[in-house]
Amino acid sequence: MNGKLTLFVIAAISFVAVDNLFVNGIIVGDANGTQVTAHQPSGLIADLPRLTLTALADDEASQPSQAITDEDIPAALQSDFKPSDIAAATAWADHLNLADWLGPLAPLALSPFFGVACLSGLALWGPASITENGLLGPTGPLHSVPLFVIFALLALLTSLPRLSKVSKPFAQAMDRVEAYAVVIILLAIKLSANYAGDTSGMDGIESIMNDDSPTALVGGQVVFQAGILSFTAETLLMIAMAINVLVINSVKFFFEFLVWLTPFPTVDAIFEVCNKAICAGLMAIYAFSPTLATAINLFALLIALIIFRWTARRVKFYRTMLLDPVLARLWRSYALPGANGLIVFPQDSIGPFPAKSCLRLTCDDSKWSLVPASSWSPLSWMPIPGGGGRQAVVLCDKTPPRLVRGWLTHTVEVRLADDEPNTSRRWTLKTSRRHDQHFNILVGTLRLEMDDETSEKENKIEFA
């Protein structure tokens, strides 16, 4: 999950860079047939330092003995702003229709296919006030009965497997595909609204913008210049929409996974019914007040961002413990221990790594250490005291790690190099049963100490 989100952020940055490449220096024609080139900002923002210095110099020349007061600065700034600048900013804000696009993102993240079906239903049979916005307009792709029927059937087909613990793993695997598919559909709708003739709101902006405006109009889009980077507000809005859906959906996926792990069979059905009811309720709020729906969405996004890293680590832990033995049975090469170490998860915080972090236990000349399992992990980017090197935890070289076999997971007990010599404390690391068929190779490669006595106490907490 974290790797996919990291790759998505990199792709988003690359998209903005490409957008900058194509926007800077592009020559487009205006309504009069003349050519207009988008360059660095000019007008008010570019001339503001020069105008301010000129005003101060003139004031000092006329009144050398009088200092500038706080009352004089706002009056000078107000005189520089033109009515066209204020009108252009107002028209730009109205054109984005932020509430129309951000309002339904929370219900779409909770139940993607069901959320698209609800949006299509609102576009077809919703109140007149909601069918005139940028997302549910009568000319948009959501205003289609076949589309409503297709997504209603997809919502039904993906919801029925969630009612049973036997079929729910398949539904959870499809949940990730469902989330990314809806993100692509949402961005496609946004692009079609931007480039398929939806420029009525831009006519007012084009009529009031002049050469002194700090923005440029390229291909019907408002382009902003930030240093050496040019970007459109629509591009940033689409990136924010995708991140919004993926973050909330990832947190929802974690709680749905925990429900599946509970031994009560009816809890899964109750969770699914509640999820669909909340999605329908949020869509109803969006139908009558997109602004209120946007506020709810931003609040849900804030909560999801706070616990996102915590939930992502645990989803990675549970997924590894459950899927590794299955994959090792299907692909024999996957069961072979690698030379780069053993994947482990600390049960508690150890060194700079929080609990359930995905780490790798390595051995180099009888010296053991814990490093992040992936170089893409944010744990690898944390600053190291003294600078240089890769973030790692050095283990005690006098006490080899001890491997304790379990029923569902295995435990690796280690001691840190910084621990007191007389202490008997051992840190607990969890690992999957991926290498059960090649324990001898694993023990010999990492020089582990085997402990075949599995205590009853460890069995009770081995999957915690």
Domains within the chain, CATH numbers bracketed: 2-37+82-309 (no CATH), 332-461 (2.30.29)
How sure is the predictor about 211, in pLDDT bands with cuts at 50, 70 and 90? very low
Q: Which of 209-218, 371-380, 394-403 has the lowest mean pLDDT?
A: 209-218
Highest mean pLDDT among 157-171, 214-228, 240-254: 240-254
Determine what percent of the chain is predicted with pLDDT higher than 90. Answer: 28
Name which of 127-141, 235-249, 386-400 the model is least confident about. Answer: 386-400
Pick the range with the lowest mean pLDDT from 75-89, 112-126, 171-185, 419-433. Answer: 75-89
- Average pLDDT on 88-100 reads 65
**Model confidence pLDDT, tens digit, residues 159-207:** 998 988 888 888 888 888 888 998 998 888 888 776 654 444 444 444 4
**Whether the predicted pLDDT of 122 surpasses 80:** yes
Looking at residues 237-253, what average pLDDT do you find?
92
Using the structure block, give the residue that is written with the tokens 């068929």.
437
Mean pLDDT of 138-165: 89
Q: What is the pLDDT of residues 308-358, one digit of tens each?
A: 999 999 999 998 998 899 998 888 888 888 878 899 999 999 888 899 999
Q: Please give the pLDDT value at position 352.
A: 84
**Is residue 121 over pLDDT 70?**
yes
* Position 82 confidence tier, pLDDT thresholds 50, 70, 90: low
Mean pLDDT of 223-242: 67
Q: What pTM, to 2 d.p., does this model score? A: 0.70
Instruction: Check pLDDT > 60 for residue 234.
Output: yes
Q: Which residues share a beta bridge with 2? A: none
Residue 229 above 50 pLDDT?
Answer: no
> Is the pLDDT higher at 86 or at 224?
86
pLDDT tops 60 at residue 80? no
C-beta separation of 96 from 232 below 8 A: no
| Statement: residue 248 has pLDDT above 90 | yes
Where does the pLDDT of residue 393 fall: very low under 50, low under 70, confident under 90, or very high at 90 and above? confident
Pick 230 or 448 by higher pLDDT.
448
Name the range with the highest mean pLDDT among 141-145, 365-369, 429-433. 429-433
pLDDT of the residue at 14:
58
Average pLDDT score, the chain: 75
12-61 pLDDT, tens digit each:
555 555 454 444 444 344 444 444 444 444 443 344 444 444 544 455 44
Whether the per-residue pLDDT at 232 is higher than 90: the answer is: no
> Of the given ranges (20-29, 102-111, 285-294, 363-372), which has the lowest mean pLDDT?
20-29
Mean pLDDT of 118-145: 83
pLDDT band at 450 (very low <50, low <70, confident <90, very high): confident
Is the model's pLDDT at 117 over the cut of 80?
A: yes
Q: Which residue has the higher pLDDT, 256 or 10?
A: 256
Whether 224 has a pLDDT exceeding 90, the answer reads: no
